[in-house]
Structure 1
Amino acid sequence: MWTASRWKRWAGGLAAAGLLGACTTVPVYGNPVTSAPVQPPHHFFSVDWWKQLVSPTLLEYAPREQAQPAYDAKNERVIALTRDGYVRSIGAEGQEAWNFRAGNRFYAGATVAEGIVYVPGTDGVLYALDGKTGELKWKYAAGEALATAPVLAGDLVLVASQSDTLFAVKRATGELAWLYRRDPPAGFTIHRASAPAVREQTAWVGFSDGTLVSLDLTDGSVRWERLLAPSGVAQFVDVDTQPVLDESGHVYAASYAGGLYALDAETGDVVWNSVAQGITSLLVHAGVVVATGDDRLDAYMADGGRLIWSQTLQERAGMEPVLVKGMLLVPAQRSLLFVDPRTGQSRLAWNPGEGISAPPRVVGTKAYVLSNNGYLYALRLDGRSG
């Protein structure tokens, strides 16, 4: 936890590293637990507190924390899922309120609503926990490693598995309402899964065979399906991005090999397609689509697909970016990048030790960040608005 004595050891390690293109120099700030007493510029962020959640194990190589922290607004706590298989509820100053052992490491974070914490386990179980006490309310045994944060849709909890199955579970009881499954392709696939996007009584979700599917939430029946994979390509055609919707009636999704697509959300008709490959996550805001990929960060006009800017990442990008206080926060595995969304230029990189793979959870002016070495940080964001 953050204390005055630890503040004296606050991080910095100011260094120069070209994270976005050979001509760009980006200041890198390091681990606040071990580094020199240099603090990032006040107009980016400051650290309120931190807490170590997982201790490194003997001979552990390249630890990864993939689960985005969640926030329990009812109990004012952060919910962290870590690689040791524990769910932890952390209070406002970093104190642990409770923990729950769920089994193996997690591929995705929890979802919290009305004081209930929904946890997707790689042990094949969806857990519902009491947010105040950590008590188990119910569990559903899916029998397949669950790989996405649960999505709440009315009285259903939707969660996708690593084996191309979308489960719809009743929120009240944990009983299965319906499921939708596709056969995986014969070739190689990406080790990820698409979380569904939901609006009214419809869900949109991608699969590893390169297909985007629109489902009726009443019974899981197919409204339409669209193959986004390029013809003649049999490997890495996955649609693993969570689809995103805008107010103009478009749904955006990307095939790893087939590029970025804008489709009519009602019919599945293709509006436009960008052939940029390797896209792993999407964000839509104010008529702009931001696409994060293995080695690139792009911005497109949502109405026609025109490329606004593109930046090359010299490190593999992590999960989806977060837009807050006029900055894009991009987890890029070796660091968290603070990117100007107008230009795509990185202004700051922060590596609190072993990098960051999971997206931050932003609550007001706070960002909760889980580093790959198992530390949870509470950042106070000071960026511009707009």
Structure 2
Amino acid sequence: MRTASGWKRWVGGLAAAGLLVGCQTVPVYGNPEPSSPEQPPHHFFTVEWWTRLVAPSLLEYAPREQARPAYDEKNERVIALTRDGYVRSIGAEGKEAWNYRVGNRFYAGATVHEGTVYVPGTDGVLHALDAKTGAPRWKYVAGEALGTAPVIEGDLVLVSSLSDTLFAVKRDTGALAWLYRRDAPAGFTIHRTSAPVVRGQSVWVGFSDGALVSLELADGGVRWEKSLAPGSGGSGQFVDVDTTPVLDNAGHVYAASYTGGLYCLDADTGDVVWNSVAQGITSLLLHGDVVVATGDDRLDAYMADNGRLIWSRSLEERAGLDAVLTKGLLLVPVQRSLIFVDPRTGKTRLTWNPAEGVSAPARVVGSKVYVLSNNGYLYALRLDGRSG
């Protein structure tokens, strides 16, 4: 439901740019920010619906929504985790089907699998909810704030904490199967967390001491570990490997240390294939032969086979977060806005700021994109761009 204040904010921005057409479906031609006078002759997306999930607070400064929306395919609903501590299941036209209160803000989105919603709480609890009704099925008390979307593999649920612990929980009961923990380094670290990635019977995950570790899926046993910190000493500040590792089909794994740069390693042995010294990288996207790296004030594209830089662009002191590639465009949240980037050149095709900007990565479902803005509005966009 749209309140008067939310409606005025949205309509004011569009009306100033001369873009308002109707009440429910809003064609957006280029940049809806009033500060952008020039509009391209074609549009990139249409806003099909939007709904406010979080009421504004008078004392809140610079609100941030960080949890990526999830999608419940069976019930055709979006699962949104918001800064007021609620899990919400949102159906067609933005209507709420159910909500569940955790009580703490979230740093990562939920995962929906076979009728269950797995919610990583910063209250230190992994919650399993019925996707249709929101009723609790089980809880696992980790005792540490959880910071990644759960990964489902076989009968296990894998989730990382903000305190350098990877938990493996049994999917049917919520009982602990195993955990792997590393000691955090002395000094300051980046407030992000690497999510595990699984292929076959192996797991790869990064830690704040600069290590990338490969584990056995069955019991959490260490296959190998590699320091990506500068000098491979694992000491110093901001050596975190907060990128979720990405795997190609040639037996390589890609990850980055905040100060140690981007690495390509042999996925079976941990041997280094190549290293780029670019710093500040916090997330990676692999598409074909190209690795797209986002991070503090930068967005880069590298050749996956040798690490050669294809293009690099500044984000003007903004922190780029997890990008998605769809319809021939990169969608990159940079906190103040969502930018649409040409993946061939790195040039911005569109900047969209739905009031207070966007920090949470977008969720793509077919030709739809679900975006949770920093002021707690959930938007359903229909993409009109070309694939490729």
- TM-score by shorter chain over 0.5: yes
Match of 2:301 among 299, 302, 317: 299
Aligned to 1:21: none
AA at the equivalent of 2:193: A
Match of 2:32 among 29, 32, 37: 29
AA at the equivalent of 1:108: A
Shift of 1:153: 1.1
How many Å separate the matches in 1 of 2:17 and 2:302? Answer: 32
The answer to whether the 8 A contact 1:40-1:46 is kept is: no
How many Å separate the matches in 2 of 1:318 and 1:289? Answer: 15
Aligned to 2:259: 257
Aligned to 2:219: 219
Aligned to 2:358: 356
Aligned to 1:62: 62
The answer to whether the 8 A contact 1:45-1:380 is kept is: yes
SS at 1:313 equivalent:
strand
SS at 1:349 equivalent:
strand
SS at 1:343 equivalent:
coil
SS at 1:383 equivalent:
coil
Aligned to 1:120: 120
How many Å separate the matches in 1 of 2:321 and 2:300? Answer: 14
How many Å separate the matches in 2 of 1:68 and 1:193? Answer: 14
How many Å separate the matches in 2 of 1:320 and 1:42? Answer: 26
Q: Are the structure 2 counterparts of residues 126 and 163 from structure 1 closer, same or farther at C-alpha, using a change threshold of 3 Å?
A: same
The answer to whether the 8 A contact 1:296-1:312 is kept is: yes
The answer to whether the 8 A contact 1:193-1:241 is kept is: yes
How many Å separate the matches in 1 of 2:127 and 2:384? Answer: 36
Shift of 1:29: 2.0
Q: Are the structure 2 counterparts of residues 76 and 41 from structure 1 closer, same or farther at C-alpha, using a change threshold of 3 Å?
A: farther
Q: Are the structure 2 counterparts of residues 39 and 46 from structure 1 closer, same or farther at C-alpha, using a change threshold of 3 Å?
A: farther
Q: Are the structure 2 counterparts of residues 14 and 257 from structure 1 closer, same or farther at C-alpha, using a change threshold of 3 Å?
A: farther
String of CA shifts for 1:132-178, please: whole Å, max 9, x gaps: 00000001000000000001111100000010000000000000000
Shift of 1:43: 3.2
AA at the equivalent of 2:190: I
Match of 2:286 among 272, 284, 287: 284
Match of 2:381 among 379, 382, 385: 379
Aligned to 2:49: 49
Shift of 1:93: 1.1
Shift of 1:286: 1.1
AA at the equivalent of 2:181: R
Aligned to 1:71: 71
How many Å separate the matches in 2 of 1:374 and 1:333? Answer: 13
Trace 1:174-323 onto structure 2 (pairs within 5 A).
174-231=174-231, 234-323=236-325
The answer to whether the 8 A contact 1:318-1:358 is kept is: no
The answer to whether the 8 A contact 1:86-1:102 is kept is: yes
How many Å separate the matches in 1 of 2:304 and 2:313? Answer: 18
The answer to whether the 8 A contact 1:2-1:49 is kept is: no
Shift of 1:221: 0.3
Q: What RMSD in Å do the two structures reach over aligned CA positions?
A: 2.1
Unaligned runs of 5+ in 2: 19-29
Shift of 1:39: 8.9
How many Å separate the matches in 2 of 1:147 and 1:74? Answer: 26
If asked which structure has higher relative contact order (CA below 8 Å, sep 6+), I would say 1
Aligned to 1:23: none
Q: Are the structure 2 counterparts of residues 40 and 62 from structure 1 closer, same or farther at C-alpha, using a change threshold of 3 Å?
A: farther
The answer to whether the 8 A contact 1:298-1:311 is kept is: yes
How many Å separate the matches in 2 of 1:200 and 1:173? Answer: 23
Unaligned runs of 5+ in 1: 16-26
How many Å separate the matches in 2 of 1:129 and 1:315? Answer: 39
Shift of 1:42: 4.7
AA at the equivalent of 1:29: P
Q: Are the structure 2 counterparts of residues 39 and 9 from structure 1 closer, same or farther at C-alpha, using a change threshold of 3 Å?
A: farther
How many Å separate the matches in 1 of 2:32 and 2:176? Answer: 47
Aligned to 1:329: 331
How many Å separate the matches in 2 of 1:372 and 1:193? Answer: 20
How many Å separate the matches in 1 of 2:71 and 2:145? Answer: 23
Aligned to 1:153: 153
Match of 1:9 among 11, 27, 52: 11
How many Å separate the matches in 2 of 1:62 and 1:379? Answer: 24
* Paired residues, number: 369
How many Å separate the matches in 2 of 1:147 and 1:160? Answer: 6
AA at the equivalent of 1:78: V
AA at the equivalent of 2:102: A
SS at 1:29 equivalent:
coil
When normalised by structure 2's length, the TM-score is 0.91
Q: Are the structure 2 counterparts of residues 248 and 191 from structure 1 closer, same or farther at C-alpha, using a change threshold of 3 Å?
A: same
The answer to whether the 8 A contact 2:195-2:244 is kept is: yes
SS at 1:248 equivalent:
coil
The answer to whether the 8 A contact 2:31-2:39 is kept is: no
String of CA shifts for 1:281-323, please: whole Å, max 9, x gaps: 0000011000001011000000000000000111423421000
Match of 2:343 among 341, 344, 352: 341
AA at the equivalent of 2:211: T
Shift of 1:28: 3.7
Shift of 1:41: 6.1
When normalised by structure 1's length, the TM-score is 0.92
Shift of 1:10: 7.1
Deviates more, 1:311-320 or 1:355-364: 311-320
Aligned to 1:370: 372
